[in-house]
A = this chain, B = another copy of it.
Amino acid sequence: MAVYTTLSAAELAGLMAEYDVGALVSAKGIAEGVSNSNWLVETTGRDGHGARFILTMYEARVAVEELPFFLGLLDHLAAKGSPVPRTIHDRAGAPFRLVRGKAVALIEFLPGVSVDLPNAAQAHAVGQALAGLHLDAADFAGERANTMALPHWHELLSQCGRQGLHSIDPSLPALVETELRHLEANWPQGLPRSVIHADLFPDNVLLLGDEVTGLIDFYFACNDVTAYDLAVTHSAWCFGSDGRFRPEIAEALLAGYAERRPLSAEEHRALPILARGAAMRFLATRAYDWLHTPADALVTRKDPMDFARRLAFYAAEGEKAFSI
């Protein structure tokens, strides 16, 4: 959660005037997004009936040169019917603008709330929406490398050091060493690729009841193995707050996905190792952030051990976790 930058009412009103969205009515800094400042903005709307938007100011972590990919992807997916927010373009047609040297984008507001503990119907709907995203992105022209792929996990964990990992948990250095070696030796090659979300945690899905109303926060989206995205989502959705695997949620997620985009036998066989990779990816960034986040940062550190346990689970019972 964060609002890093303060914008004055005059700056906000001036910014809104650059868009055809009516006049500024309200703006509240919202505690969302880990690396950007966000406001929930209300305007009088084009028709005078009111409209709402998320205004995002990109802080250090998102590079301006990547915005055309991220924002273009939103527009592409929204046009295809995926439940993602459109980018509002300014009067000159630009998808983002600069304010005080920082890029800002005005993004459609979508209803819905994020659930902590999904039910099976919700997991089913998320599986469907993820498959839809992969299908809808098929003819998107943008390309972006995955900056959080296997070599980067290795690099981040090296920077943590054995001692750093040990300070988090004594079992961590051995787990990381064994699993990294296994992943590097066995990472699947030649699987179908596409644009993937790469970070579809419950935080990044809006739901109304059992319906998906929004997939948001595409700032890790990239081109990579399509089934890896399903493995990421599996690792993020299918465990209870006690860390226990929830087979009924996994089954619903996989079934929902397969309804819209059936997996090939090869993809299905790869899911356990892809999930070990997904768990390693989040273990790597959380361990790095745990050791490198200053104690006074305005950010809540996430426990790396949640994903160490999921990694160990996938290593031991990966086949079971993906049998439908």
Q: How far is the CA of A3 from the CA of B29 in the complex (A)?
A: 11
Query: How many interface residues does chain A have, given as a range?
Result: 20 to 34
The answer on a CB contact under 8 Å between B29 and A30 is yes
Q: Which residues of B contact A1 (CB under 8 A)?
A: 3, 29, 31
A112 and B26 in contact, given A8-B117, A9-B207, A207-B9 (Cβ under 8 angstroms): yes
A113 and B40 in contact, given A9-B207, A295-B296, A298-B298 (Cβ under 8 angstroms): no
Q: Which residues of B contact A31 (CB under 8 A)?
A: 1, 3, 28-31
Residue of B nearest to A25 (CB): B111
Q: Which residues of B contact A8 (CB under 8 A)?
A: 115-117
Q: Which residues of B contact A10 (CB under 8 A)?
A: 115-117
Could you mark each residue 25-40 of chain A with 1 if its beta carbon is under 8 Å from any beta carbon of chain B, else 0?
Answer: 1111111100000001
Q: Which residues of B contact A112 (CB under 8 A)?
A: 25-26
The answer on a CB contact under 8 Å between A9 and B115 is yes
The answer on a CB contact under 8 Å between B9 and A116 is yes
**A24: interface (CB < 8 Å):** yes
Shortest beta-carbon distance from A42 to chain B in Å: 7
Q: Which residues of B contact A297 (CB under 8 A)?
A: 296
Shortest beta-carbon contacts, A-B, top 3: A29-B31, A296-B296, A9-B113
